[in-house]
Amino acid sequence: MIILTVEKQKRLLKCFAKTSLMRKKILFFVLVSFVLFANGQVKKSYLKPYKIGFLHNYGVNENFIFDDPDYTYATNTYKLQAFYKLGTWKKLNLELIVQPQTQSLNHQLINKFFVKSDQENFEEKRVEFTQPKKMSLYGVEFGLVALKEITTKLYFQAGISLGFMSINKRTERMAKGFTFLENFTLGISYFSTKKTNFYLGANMGHVSNLNFQKPNDGYNILGLEIGFSYLLK
């Protein structure tokens, strides 16, 4: 059993209160799942995935939803995936996906005046941040996915997820080090055989660190993704 000190509980609640409604829902799901695992409420058979896979995602900030003119941002994400059955709810198949991953990021500040003149060493920061940067993001993402059967081979898929990550360089929008990743996905899942499955979808993603460090303006992306998975059972 895992016990949190009063001080740690207060810090967790303080961070939780600062998040948006969507982030609270995602964090609540992850925290509840973690507590269930920690207290042995999940059957041991659930610890073994029934399916494994690989997914590639390409996302940018320049799109019809976000398109922030202050900066450019593009990411190629590569995920390994382990799928766990959680059961059914209102004719939806529910799954947990554990996704260790790496991201290759390209970023550049376009509007140098985003770095305010009241910041320390603002001129040096403007020179640094307006240069193109290649960065890396590493970590693991936990997703809750719901699948609705369309035909015996075709499913509609929607999911929300939260990742715990580390970024290797600072920018004008976010500090180097620990960060969170949040995703909302929609797509189609197709079983080409009894053992193999292809997925095609889109995602809206956000990266920020819940104000653990400054700055924390974060990044928003819209992306396309394709995946392949294989049933172990």
What six digits make up the tokens of 78?
């590569």
H-assigned helices in the chain: 6-17, 21-38, 122-129
- Interatomic CA distance for residues 139 and 165, integer angstroms: 4
> What's residue 37's pLDDT?
47
Query: Where does the pLDDT of residue 203 fall: very low under 50, low under 70, confident under 90, or very high at 90 and above?
Result: very high
Model pLDDT for residues 104-129, shown as the tens digit of each residue:
999 999 999 999 999 999 999 999 99
Model pLDDT for residues 137-188, shown as the tens digit of each residue:
999 999 999 999 999 999 999 999 999 999 999 999 999 999 999 999 999 9
> What's residue 36's pLDDT?
46
- Interatomic CA distance for residues 94 and 143, integer angstroms: 10
Model pLDDT for residues 60-108, shown as the tens digit of each residue:
998 888 888 999 999 999 999 999 999 999 889 999 999 999 999 999 9
* Separation of CA 29 from chain center: 14
In this structure, are residues 111 and 127 in contact, taking their beta carbons and an 8 Å threshold?
A: no
Nearest in space to 112 (alpha carbons), one of 70, 73, 72, 74: 70
Query: Where does the pLDDT of residue 38 fall: very low under 50, low under 70, confident under 90, or very high at 90 and above?
Result: very low
How many Cα neighbours within 13 Å face the side chain of 67? 3
Model pLDDT for residues 9-34, shown as the tens digit of each residue:
445 444 444 444 445 455 555 555 55
Instruction: Name beta bridge partners: 198.
Output: 190, 228
Answer whether residue 40 shows pLDDT above 90.
no
> What's residue 46's pLDDT?
55
Spell out the residues 6+ positions from residue 159 whose beta carbon is closer than 8 angstroms to its own: 97, 143, 144, 145, 146, 183, 184, 185
